[in-house]
Each structure stands twice: as C-alpha cells, then as structure tokens.
Structure 1
Amino acid sequence: MSSKVLRGAFILTLGSVLSKVLGLLYVIPFDALLGEEGAGLYSYSYIPYTIFISLATAGMPLAVSKTVSKYNAIEEYAVSQKLFKSSLKLMVVTGFLAFLLMYAMAPGLASLGSYGKFSEEDLTTVIRAVSFALIIVPAMSIIRGFFQGHQDMKPTAVSQVIEQLVRIIFLLSGAFVVLKILDGDIVTAVSVATFAATIGAIGGLAFLLLYWKKQKPYLNQLLAADKGTVDISLIEVYKEIFFSSIPFIFVAIAMPLFQFVDNLTFSRAMASIGMDRDATTQAFGILNFNTQKLVVIPMTLATAFSMALVPSVTSAFVSSDMNAFRHQLDQAFQILLFVTIPAVIGMAILADPIYTAFYGHNQLGANILATYAPTAILFALFSVSAAVLQGINQQKFTVLGLLVGLLIKLSLNIPLIKLFDTAGAVYATTLGYLAACLLNLYFIRFFTEYSYKLIVKRTMLIFILSGIMALVVWVMESIMFLILDSEGRWQAVLITALCMLFGGLVYAVLSLKSTLAHRLFGNRIEKLQRKLKLKV
C-alpha cells in the first residue's frame, strides 16, 4: 500500500478515533443526566435520522470521491471541480427536502416505537428536533467527499472532530440547563440533545469552508494543468454517479437499517414475553445506545480504511495495476484484523468493568456488551469489503449482500428475542452481518480472483496471539476483582485501564516476537523500535 494511502488512512483513523473517543466520553455525563430511559428515547429519534441522512445524500459524497479520483487520475481536473460545484448545489436542495419529509413523517415514525415508556407525542418531538440537521449535513458531506477524491483526508478528519466537539458541548450544556436550571422534563432535554446535531454540523461546515478557501490557489493550479481532452456533460457524469451511488446509500445505512428493525420489532417482541414498558425502554437504550456506542469503537479503523480505500482501489483498478490492487487489499485486511480482533476479544472479557466505567454497574448491560463485542469484527469486514466492491465497480453486489443480511435480521429478530430476550436482537444482527460479509468476500474473489490464503493464515496467527493476550487479561481481571469493588465506577475505570494497558503490551510484544508486526508494517516498525530503543 502506498505511503500516501497509509497516511490518508492514518489521518482518517486519527480523526475518527478522536471523534469516537469524544462520543464515548460524553456518554458518562449523558447517562448521569438522562439515564438509560433517556438513552432509549434518544436512540428512537437518532436511528431514523441516520437513515434520512443517507437518503438525503444519496451516496453522493463517496460517489463524488470515487469519480473525482477517477478524473484526477487522468488529469481532467475541470470535470472534477465542475462535478463538485454542481453536487454541492444538489445536496443543499436534497437536504432541505429531506428535512421537510422527516419533519412531516415524525408522527408516523413515532408510532413505531410507542410501546415503551414515552408517548407518540414525546417521540415526535425529539424526532423533529434532530431533523433540522438534515439541512446542513449533506452539503458538508459533499465537501468532505471532494477532498477525499484528491486523497486529502485532513479536512474530513478535522471537521469530524470539530463537529463532534461542538455537538457534545451543546448537548450536555443544553440538557443540563433544561433539567437542572429550568427544571424541565426529560423529553425537552432529549430534544435539545438531538438538536445538538445541527449545531455540530454548523461547526464542521464552518471549518470546511475555511479550508476550501485556503486550498483555492492549489485547486486553481490543478485547473491550469487540466488536459481538457474529455468533453462530458454533467448529465452523463450524474448518470455515472447515480448508478454507482445507490449502493453507497445501502452501505451507509447498513447499521441504521439493522437498528431500525429493532425499532420496529423490539418493543412488541419484549411485550409478548411479558416485559413491562419501563424495562423495555431501558433494555432498548442499553442495546441501541449504550452498548452500540462501545461496540463501534473497534471498527473505527475499518471505517477510516474504507473511506481511504475507495479512491486508491479505483485508481489501481482503472490503471489495470492488479499487483498494486492485491497488495492494497492484503495490507488493508490484515491491518484491519490485526487491530480489530484483539480489541473485541478484550472488550468481551472486560465487558463488566467497561460498562460500569461508562454507565454504572448493570448486569444486563455487561452481558449485552460481552455478546455484542465480537460482532464488531463483522461490522469492520463489511465496511471494507463493501468499499472494495465499490472500488471495482461491482456495487450492486454489495446491495445484494446487505439485503440478504437484512432479511435474516428481519426473519430472526422476533424469534430470537423471544428465546434470548435482549441478546436475541444481537444474535440476529450478528447472523445477518455474517451472511453479508461472506457474500461480499465471495464476490471480491469472483471478480478479481483475489486469494484469501494469506489473510486466513495471518488471521489464525492473530487469533492465537489474541487468545494468549485474552488469557493474561482474564487472569489479571480476576485478581483485581478480589482486590477492588468492580461495581464502583472509579474502581472499574482502574481495572479497565490497567487490563487494557497490560493486554496491549502483551499483544504488542507477541506481535513483535512472532514478526507479525514487521510483516504488516515493515520498516516502520524497525524505525519505531530504533526511536524507542526497543529490543524484542
């Protein structure tokens, strides 16, 4: 994989990690203010919002990234910039239309989840509060996609962090003012919390516009170097984008669609086994807000790699450089699994102290987190495999894989919830994603003749090293449980931090001893060892 792609992936990863860390840290005061019931109400509104965002953007940001990369590769920079300006105008329009549609449909969406503690009117209020962000986010996403097409990942990474930081500050301060100063109710507080998405988007957009202004001279230089050999109308370009963007929509809403199935079925399935309304609302908040926020952390790298991978895979594929294409996939899959597998295994083992550290002790929450954590491997694989299929112009098969997975989720969700309570929804999600990933991997092999032999061998080694690490972490956790109160938040923080630090060191040493790290990162590991004066 080229240094530019790795650098881009690293920048996106850093931005995503910082954004996710901020998103994790805020749940501690959020939970203290609003509790699991507030988290459940927040989730009921935010899941439809993420679906509407994807429909509003229609997969355009990544499709524009891919198309810009394609025309930049042949030095047709004028086509790229013409496409960007037109797409930006289109996103302003679709964003506003999506806002109007979601605002109008709020009562209907609210009726789907009204079995829980909150009424349809309550759900309608919070859904409408978050819908305003649809006016801004699509335009912001197009600007990010344009710079990604230039293999410049900095604006995406920085704007994500700014957007998240502004959102969290407004969310927490707004909820605090409503509940503690104005003595308002939880519905008003959650409405303010969801409206924070709009304020955060304004912050992210402001940075992107400033960055665009700064980069204008460089973009003008590219225009001056334009070959001008391609005379293509915007209609033809949009036709190309339209057919390539539809799969991007499905990929973007994959996780929200799986969660939306829970919106539709969870409350009624829980009611059928005798669960009361309060317990159902709390369980839904644990499932689709508390644990979900923790589980997506290990797949942060996958998201960054998938975003960085599309332009580079497209360039290699368009250039018919299959050796570079295969090498990029080898590196992407291996580095992805190298990070994700030990992370989810560690999370499953430390589920009890991790959940307690963020939300306070709750046995159901710890059990669901331990069950849910391994699914992050599938989230990561789906993200990257879908990006590869998009990069080789086989997007429609990504849709096929997702639809099969979603059908499995729909078919099994209610039966599994009836058998296993809240954990049943996790099992249905895992089986659905497993089917989608297997289909995506099969299609990659079918169309590119890519061999997974090396990936399978390295994955087995990663599991062996992770298993040794897991045993060490389990022993250490068991000893600390004898000394500290695992149900206390600060003791849980200490247990989690020490076990993660020690487990990470063990895994790092094993990776160096086995030379796995050297095979994946090459000279970079040797340079790091020399700088740190390490001898392994």
Structure 2
Amino acid sequence: MPKDHLNTMFKGALILSISSLVAKILSAVYRIPLQNMVGNTGFYVYQQIYPLYGIGMTFALNGFPNFISKLVAEQPDETSKSLIARRAFHILSGLSLVVFFGLQLGATWIAAHMGDVNLAPIISAVAWMFVFMPWLATGRGYYQGKFLMGPTAISQLIEQVVRVAIIIMAAYFSVRLGWDNYRMGTWAMSSAPLAAICSSLIFTAFGLKYLLAPAPEPTHTLPSYRKLTKRFVVEGGTLCLVAAVVILLQLVDSFTVMRGLVRQGQLPEVAKALKGVYDRGQPLVQLGLVVATAFSATLLPALTDALAKRQPIEFKRQTQAMVHVSLALSMAATVGLVALMPQINRLLFGSLEGTTALRIYIVSILFAALITTYTSVLQSLNQYTAMIIGIVAGLATKVLANYLFVVHYGINGASAVTVLSLAVMFAVMWLGSPEDLQQVLLESGYLIKLLAISAVMGLVVILSCHQMTALVGPVLAHTRGMAGIVTVIGVILGVLVFVAGAVYARLFTIREWLVLPYGKRLIKAVAKGKEHHS
C-alpha cells in the first residue's frame, strides 16, 4: 500500500475515532440532566423507546456503513464503486421501508406488549428515522470505502448535537409548560428523524450524483441484487448484531421489566418509576465503556497492519496489549463505580434509589468491554461463528430469564440477568476463539494480579468514603454537594491506588503502558526513581 494512502487511512481512522468518542460521551451524558428534569417516570417513558432508536442508529452508523465500505473497497474503479453504492441504497431502502411501516402500523401492538399503550405515539415518532437510514448508511459506507472518514465523522457529530439539543429542549418545555410525560417523550423522540435529516445533508452532493442521477454503464460485472441481498443479510446483519449487543438487551428490558414489576404486585405508576430508576444504569455503563475501550481501540490499526503483513508474533503482541488494557480499564471502572455507587447515585440523580440494582448493572462494563475487544480481534481474523453463537446465546439467556427474575427479584433481577447474558456471550466467544487468543487472559498470572489490585483499590475507596461521610455527620452526608466531594476524592484515591498497584505488580508491559494516557511519563518517572535508589 502506498505511503500517502496509508497516511490518509490512519488519519481518517483517527478523525473517526475522535468523533465517535465525542458522540458516545454526548450520548451518555445528556441522559443525566434529562432524568433530573423529567424525573423517574419521564425517564422511563424515554428509555422504553430508546432501544428502537439505538438499533436504527447502529444500523446507520456502524453495521451497514462498515459492510458497504467493504463492498465499495472491493470494486476496481470509480464507476463500479458508485454502482455498487447505488445497489446497496436500493436494498437498504426496501429494508427500511419494511421497518418503517412495521413500526407505524404495529405501534399500538408493540406498546401494549411493553405494558403501556400510551407509548404508541412515541414509537410512531421514532419510526421516521428509518426513512433516512439508507441515505446515511450508503453515504457513510461509500466514503469509508474510499478511506475518507471526514464525512462520516461530521455527520455523526451533527446527528448527536442536534438530537441532544432537541431532547434537552423538550425536557425544558415539558417542565416549563407542564406537559405530561408521554408528550415530552414524543417530542424527545422526534429528535431522531430531525437529527437524521440534518446529518443527511452532508451527503446531498453524493446522493444527487451517485444515487439519484441516471446510472452510468457498468465497466465490470457487478453482483446481482439477489447475491447482494444475501450478503447484506449474512455479513451486514452480523456486523449490525455485534454493534447492537447492549441495545438489544435494553430492548428485552423494554418488553419485560415494566410488565414483570406489575406482575410482582407493583402499581403501574410505581412500576414505571422503578423502571426509570433501573434505567439510570445505562448512561453509567456507556461512560464506563467509553473509558474502557477508547485507549485499547488505538491498537486496532497496528493489529490490522500486523495481520496484513503476516506477522503472527507481532499480531499476538498487539492482541495481548489490546485485551490487557481493555480488561484492566474495564475492571478499574467497574470496581470504582461499584464502590462509589451510593455517592454517584445521589450526585447525578438526587437519591439513593436502586443503588443495589445499579451496582449489579455496572458489572456489565467488564463483560461488554471484553466482548467489544474480542469481536474486534475475531473480525480482523474473519472468524464470525463464535461471535454469532455467543451473541445468540446471550440474547436467549436474557429473553428466557429476564421476566422471571424481575417477577421474583424486581430491578435487581433485571440487572443480574443483563450481567449473566453478557457473561454467557463472552464465555462462548472466548471458548470459540483460537487458542492463542484464549491464552492472552491467562498468561503470566495477569488475571490474579489484576483481581488483587482491583480488590485493594475497591476496599480503600469504600473505607475512605465511609470515613469521610462519618466525619461530616448525617446532615451534610446526605447532600449532593458532599456526594460530589466524596466522589471526586474517591476517584483520585482509586486511580492512585490502581496505578501504584499496577507498577508494583508489573501488571503491564512497556508496550501496554504506552497505550495509556501519561503512560510514557510514568515509565520515565519509575525509571528515574530506580536510578535514584540505586
């Protein structure tokens, strides 16, 4: 591959990674002010329908664009690239229209099966987003196939900024004008199609030139619509399934938690509020995953490069670094959030409701980060079987067990089944992966060291929090301000203990330290310290 082309590819990957990181943070953070403004029941109304939006955006942002980019990159010339994009657009248009009409005509039926028929107008509102999905997915996929990541990055940021702004405005007017929660939810979910329209504008020139203008004569034989549709279902569907794992679990919650709580004996209004409390865990898990996977993702280009150059030893080193960094960061984030959960719950949401359920739910970060990392490696090896079986097994666990656990254990049960489902997914993927990839977690006592460091960190944070709240007395201890102070101090203490433990136990190799923020400085500081003592 020419050097200029390689530089373009890596720059594009960096731009897309940064925009994805910003979009993910925005997507997690806005839910906190939303919940504070509309309360638990209002948050429940929004979160019940959110998975439908999330699945649509996963299709339009990750799954289908990645598949279309592969199709475009396979073509030998510009004409073939534009024609394959046109065919992809036609197939996706058919698919999205089926989904759109299915949601519109079935809105009342879906809402009834969620246990709340008042949700029907919100389902109808979010359905309009699927009309724009083919345009977005094809535009993004076409440019990514030509290694131009700028249009995808810009459209992604526009989509998130517009959507978040509309949601917060809907919440504000809801409080100001006294709207009911369902009217607020309808306006909030109208943000999805409106944001899709705004982000689609980036691809106007592309669409007019390549999708809507008369088609040029093909220079090469293109795959038939039948063959292409089959590839969309098998390959594109797999990529979408992998990208939407956590959202699909949330969709199962939408159909089972509210109904399970009512069956348990809760009044419908109480059940809605409890579901809203349970949904507090989602932004926390999202933020934890951003932290856990952002730095390990920087190793992906090196992983791909080692594979392309057929360097198995280098590939194994990069894989080990990626898994170790992802696992360590997800473990640290999980243990830290579990230890600080009462304070975080009070600080962000104004109460201690559902603290136990949230503590259980937070363990999802650990398995979700490992699934993300292992799927990246397995995709680079073109090994999809273990991924598919793992995802199907995990989803089946959630579908079969969730309602039963909610009836018996409430929202704690729903949290436990989410963690169990992700654990099943990862276990199947791990067992089905090549032996080298299995051994990465078990080499040189890494797992034992990590568990010991995390246990010490968690214990120090919990004891410190108890000590601080005891010192200020019960009145101050129950304020949001104090919760904020304790959280900040707890985070700083946790980071210091974890880093000190990692250095002392030699948890990471030098390669792994360099991936982490300030890792290079830390290596230099430790080296100077050793020189000084010697």
TM more than 0.5: yes
Of residues 387, 390, 412, the one that matches 2:376 is 387
Matched with 1:461 is: 449
Q: Which runs of 5+ in 2 are unaligned?
A: 1-5, 211-217, 530-534
Matched with 1:511 is: 502
Q: From the superposition, tell whether residues 500 and 147 of structure 1 become closer, same or farther in structure 2 (CA, over 3 Å).
A: farther
Matched with 1:172 is: 168
- Whether 1:399 aligns to 2:388 is yes
Is 1:27–1:358's contact at 8 Å kept on the other side of the alignment?
no
Q: Which amino acid aligns with 2:461?
A: V
1:390-435 deviations in whole A, cap 9, x for unaligned?
3333324322111211222223223322332211111112222111
After TM superposition, the structure 1 stretch with the greater mean CA deviation from structure 2, 43-52 or 366-375, is 43-52
CA distance in 1, matches of 2:232, 2:296: 18
- SS of 2:280 mapped into structure 1: helix
- Whether 1:123 aligns to 2:115 is no
Correspondence 1:318-397 to 2 at 5 A = 320-364=310-354, 366-397=355-386
CA distance in 2, matches of 1:412, 1:449: 30
After TM superposition, the structure 1 stretch with the greater mean CA deviation from structure 2, 20-29 or 246-255, is 20-29
1:72-130 deviations in whole A, cap 9, x for unaligned?
9xx8777555534543454455434432321222111100122xxxx51x210111122
Correspondence 1:128-139 to 2 at 5 A = 128-139=124-135
CA distance in 1, matches of 2:85, 2:404: 47
CA distance in 1, matches of 2:509, 2:304: 27
Q: Which runs of 5+ in 1 are unaligned?
A: 217-227
Is 1:5–1:308's contact at 8 Å kept on the other side of the alignment?
no
Matched with 1:204 is: 199
User: How far did residue 373 of structure 1 move?
Assistant: 0.9
The TM-score normalised by the length of structure 2 is 0.82
Q: Which amino acid aligns with 2:512?
A: L
Is 2:321–2:511's contact at 8 Å kept on the other side of the alignment?
no
CA distance in 2, matches of 1:329, 1:100: 43
User: How far did residue 488 of structure 1 move?
Assistant: 1.9
- Whether 1:98 aligns to 2:69 is no
Of residues 412, 421, 433, the one that matches 2:422 is 433
Matched with 2:158 is: 162
User: How far did residue 352 of structure 1 move?
Assistant: 0.9
CA distance in 2, matches of 1:306, 1:76: 34
Q: From the superposition, tell whether residues 500 and 374 of structure 1 become closer, same or farther in structure 2 (CA, over 3 Å).
A: same
Q: Which amino acid aligns with 1:175?
A: A
User: How far did residue 512 of structure 1 move?
Assistant: 4.1
CA distance in 2, matches of 1:264, 1:514: 46
CA distance in 2, matches of 1:80, 1:275: 57
Aligned residues between the structures:
509
1:6-56 deviations in whole A, cap 9, x for unaligned?
977765554344334333442333123211101111122122333455678
Q: From the superposition, tell whether residues 335 and 359 of structure 1 become closer, same or farther in structure 2 (CA, over 3 Å).
A: same
Is 2:59–2:133's contact at 8 Å kept on the other side of the alignment?
no
User: How far did residue 351 of structure 1 move?
Assistant: 0.7
Q: From the superposition, tell whether residues 511 and 167 of structure 1 become closer, same or farther in structure 2 (CA, over 3 Å).
A: same
Q: Which amino acid aligns with 1:274?
A: G
Q: From the superposition, tell whether residues 530 and 414 of structure 1 become closer, same or farther in structure 2 (CA, over 3 Å).
A: closer
CA distance in 2, matches of 1:527, 1:273: 54
- Percent identity between the two aligned chains: 23
- Whether 1:275 aligns to 2:266 is yes
Matched with 1:221 is: none
Q: From the superposition, tell whether residues 530 and 405 of structure 1 become closer, same or farther in structure 2 (CA, over 3 Å).
A: closer
1:280-311 deviations in whole A, cap 9, x for unaligned?
11111222x31111112222256668988888
CA distance in 2, matches of 1:28, 1:529: 34
Is 1:313–1:392's contact at 8 Å kept on the other side of the alignment?
no
Q: Which amino acid aligns with 1:397?
A: A
Q: Which amino acid aligns with 1:346?
A: G
User: How far did residue 359 of structure 1 move?
Assistant: 1.0
User: How far did residue 499 of structure 1 move?
Assistant: 1.6
- Whether 1:492 aligns to 2:483 is yes
Is 1:356–1:492's contact at 8 Å kept on the other side of the alignment?
yes
CA distance in 1, matches of 2:513, 2:150: 22
CA distance in 1, matches of 2:483, 2:445: 36
Matched with 1:225 is: none
- Whether 1:83 aligns to 2:78 is no
